[in-house]
Amino acid sequence: MKKVIKNFFALILSLMMVFPLFGIANAESLKSNQDCGYKLSDFNLSNNLVKDSNSGFTINDFKLHKYPNDSNLMKEKNSLASSGTDLRVSSLNAHTSEPFPNEKPIKFSFIIANVGTNKINNQPVSIQVQLDNTDILDTSVTLTLETGVILEPDTYVQGSFYITGAGGTHTVTVVALPLFIKDCNISNNKTSGRFKWADCVSLSAASLSTSDGIYQFESNQTKAFTFKIANFGTLDAKNVLIRFKVNDTAIKNATVDKIEAKHIITGQIKITFYKHGRYNIELDVDPNRTVDNINADNNSKTTQVTVDYDTEIWAGKWKNARKLSVMIYGSAIDLINNDNAGNNATNKAKKAIHAWNGINSDASYGSIYTSNSDEGWNTLDKQVSVISYDTGDDSTIAFTALWEKDGDGYTEVNDVENDKCIYVKAAVCLNPEVYPKQPAKNQFRTITHEFGHVFRLAHPTCRDKAIMRQTWDPLMTYTIQPHDEYNLNRSY
């Protein structure tokens, strides 16, 4: 018991030796700061030009025309060539003169004929369309005639599709293979042709994504975004401006001397986020449209990230933080009932403490008692004490001290940020040289703030408004904010 109830003056000496250091880190001080939601942390662009297999071509509107009534195609109905099942693909044609216009859908047609002795009896056929030996379409169809009859020997269907692309000469190939029937001759199952698109520059913001694939995270983090910028055309693009924006505000401009034809450049941009919210990250290639680029519609790429409130709490905690008992001692009552505080100051102080209740069922303040003296404040009789303590400076309004169990007694926690201990007692200390001189709203806000420290909440280092911000901070508030609630719920 001798260790539990220490001599009052010995504790005061201990307070004088330790609390000023404690107060510097956790006290309500009078300084200044500046709000900022995010900043550009780093940017780099690869010097190496990387070839990419993605040609930038697309295919759409694939159709089969059942039994076309076209005399020019009747030559496909030749004599039976094979015994069994035999498909033949032929007559790949484009319906536009070469060189094809860029970024315009170009129609292609082809014929699939049954030149075997077996009919194709509602069996699926795999149709593949390739561009330069790379699949751009792979679909399954059933070859039936216009009348709904299965594909008989010596009959055919006509297919068509559209390709949209830009620049260069390319090989287009169509392949047809039965999926569940053996084709006795697959050498005639494909047809190819070489087709030319007009030379051009074809820029594209090819991709923009977080490097780690995570799009929701807490604030006070630096997130890396990787991006690719492509030139799918056949001409080099020179002096290409690229611009990055966050929520429509430009944060970086950079000029690429040259993006070679059929090449992709890669890069990375790092952004540090300081406050919660939803952020739209945009990459815009050639934003001023000064490059002779055939299509500017694909010059932008966007991605979104959601930033949560950050977790900013001390390492220790209460084993049971429900209905913590509070005693406001005589020296603190004298400070609370000052001229600036107005009427019913003690009741207002109690209300400021109880403002934390209702946020988390595992963290609340119970009965709040008052005493006419300071006798017994340094015991474990009440879990939280409110006292007056002169810090010896005029920059600290108040501070909070915490104790952990030490054998039969208790000892002060000197490193609240890293000491993962169990709290057994707390003291909210009001500075008599500063506290009474504050406006009433600052006084009661300070009490709420310090009782947030009792629940292990730290001073925020993000850029979100919070009651746990220090008094001098422009983002300081007079009421508990979502950031404070987030951290209390992260604590208990």
**How far is the C-alpha of 345 from the C-alpha of 342, rounded, in Å?**
6
User: For 92-96, 131-135, 357-361, which range has the lowest pLDDT when averaged over its residues?
Assistant: 131-135
- The reply to whether 216 falls in a domain is yes
Q: How sure is the predictor about 142, in pLDDT bands with cuts at 50, 70 and 90?
A: confident
The per-residue pLDDT for 149 is 75
Whole-number mean pLDDT of the chain?
88
Residues 18 and 47 in one domain: no
Q: Cβ atoms within 10 A of the Cβ of 303, count?
A: 16
- The reply to whether 88 falls in a domain is yes
CB 452 within 8 A of CB 468: yes
- The reply to whether 302 falls in a domain is yes
Choose the most confident range, by mean pLDDT, from 67-71, 281-285, 338-342: 281-285
**How far is the C-alpha of 464 from the C-alpha of 483, rounded, in Å?**
7
Q: How sure is the predictor about 13, in pLDDT bands with cuts at 50, 70 and 90?
A: very low
* 151-162 residues labelled b (16+ CB within 10 A) or e (exposed): bebbbbbbbebb
Choose the most confident range, by mean pLDDT, from 47-56, 117-126, 133-142, 203-212: 203-212
Residues 162 and 144 in one domain: yes
Q: Does 14 score more than 60 pLDDT?
A: no
Residues 143 and 169 in one domain: yes
What percent of the chain stands above pLDDT 90?
71
Residues 47 and 187 in one domain: no
Residues 345 and 461 in one domain: yes
- The reply to whether 290 falls in a domain is yes
What is the torsion angle, in degrees rounded to the nearest 10, for the CA atoms of residue 49, residue 54, residue 57 and residue 59?
A: -170
- The reply to whether 1 falls in a domain is no
- Picking from 146, 50, 66, 158, the residue whose alpha carbon sits closest to that of residue 107 is 158
Please identify, among 259, 278, 308, the residue that sits at the C-terminal boundary of a domain: 308
Residues 354 and 466 in one domain: yes
| Token couple for 402 | 């915490």
Q: Does 213 score more than 50 pLDDT?
A: yes
Residues 344 and 364 in one domain: yes
**How far is the C-alpha of 393 from the C-alpha of 16, rounded, in Å?**
12
According to the 3-state scheme, what is the secondary structure of the chain?
CCCCCCCHHHHHHHHHHHHHHHHHHHCCCCCCCCCCCEEEEEEEECCCCEECCCCCCEEEEEEEECCCCCHHHHHHCCCCCCCCCCEEEEEEEECCCCCECCCCCEEEEEEEEECCCCCECCCEEEEEEEECCEEEEEEEEECECCCCCEECCCEEEEEEEEEECCCEEEEEEEEEEECCCCCCCHHHCEEEEEEEECCCECEEEEEEEECCCCCEEECCEEEEEEEEEEECCCCCEEEEEEEEEECCEEEEEEEEEEECCCEEEEEEEEEEECCCEEEEEEEEECCCCCCCECCCCCCEEEEEEEEECCCCECCCEECCEEEEEEEECHHHHHHHCCHHHCCCHHHHHHHHHHCCCCCECCEEEEEEEECCCCCCCCCCCCCEEEEECCCCCCCCCEEEEEEEEECCEEEECCCCCCCCCEEEEEEEEECCCCHHHCCHHHHHHHHHHHHHHHCCECCCCCCCCECCCCCCCCCECCCCCHHHHHHHHHHC
Q: Cβ atoms within 10 A of the Cβ of 89, count?
A: 21
Beta-ladder partners of 139: 127
Please identify, among 247, 276, 308, the residue that sits at the C-terminal boundary of a domain: 308
- Picking from 161, 168, 167, the residue whose alpha carbon sits closest to that of residue 137 is 161
Distance of CA 205 to the CA centre of its chain: 20
- Picking from 464, 487, 486, the residue whose alpha carbon sits closest to that of residue 475 is 464
- The reply to whether 3 falls in a domain is no
pLDDT digits (tens, 9 = 90+) for 418-453: 999 999 999 999 999 999 999 999 999 999 999 999
Work out the angle at residue 200's Cα, subtended by the Cα atoms of residues 197 and 204, and round it to the nearest 5 degrees.
105
Higher per-residue pLDDT: 123 or 260: 260
pLDDT digits (tens, 9 = 90+) for 287-327: 999 999 998 999 999 999 999 999 999 999 999 999 999 99
Domain range enclosing 355:
8-31+313-491
Find the CATH number of the domain harbouring 298.
2.60.40.10
Decide: residue 472, CB within 10 A, 0-12 exposed, 13-18 middle, 19+ buried: middle
Q: How sure is the predictor about 37, in pLDDT bands with cuts at 50, 70 and 90?
A: confident
Residue 128 neighbours by CB under 8 Å, 6+ apart = 135, 137, 138, 173, 174, 175, 176, 177
Residues 486 and 340 in one domain: yes
Average pLDDT over residues 218-228: 96
Number of domains in the chain: 3
Residues 329 and 253 in one domain: no
Q: How sure is the predictor about 408, in pLDDT bands with cuts at 50, 70 and 90?
A: confident
Query: Which CB contacts under 8 angstroms, 24+ apart, belong to 329-333?
Result: 329/371, 329/373, 329/374, 329/377, 329/385, 329/386, 329/387, 329/388, 330/371, 330/372, 330/373, 330/374, 331/374, 331/387, 331/388, 331/432, 332/386, 332/387, 332/388, 332/428, 332/430, 333/370, 333/371, 333/372
Which amino acid, 231? N
Please identify, among 308, 327, 352, the residue that sits at the C-terminal boundary of a domain: 308
pLDDT digits (tens, 9 = 90+) for 145-168: 767 778 888 888 999 999 998 899
Residues 304 and 347 in one domain: no
Find the CATH number of the domain harbouring 351.
3.40.390.10
- The reply to whether 2 falls in a domain is no
pLDDT digits (tens, 9 = 90+) for 253-270: 999 999 999 899 999 999
Interhelix angle 345-354/440-454, rounded to 10 degrees, is 40
- The reply to whether 12 falls in a domain is yes
**How far is the C-alpha of 217 from the C-alpha of 464, rounded, in Å?**
15
Residues 189 and 207 in one domain: no
Residues 338 and 465 in one domain: yes
CB 158 within 8 A of CB 184: no
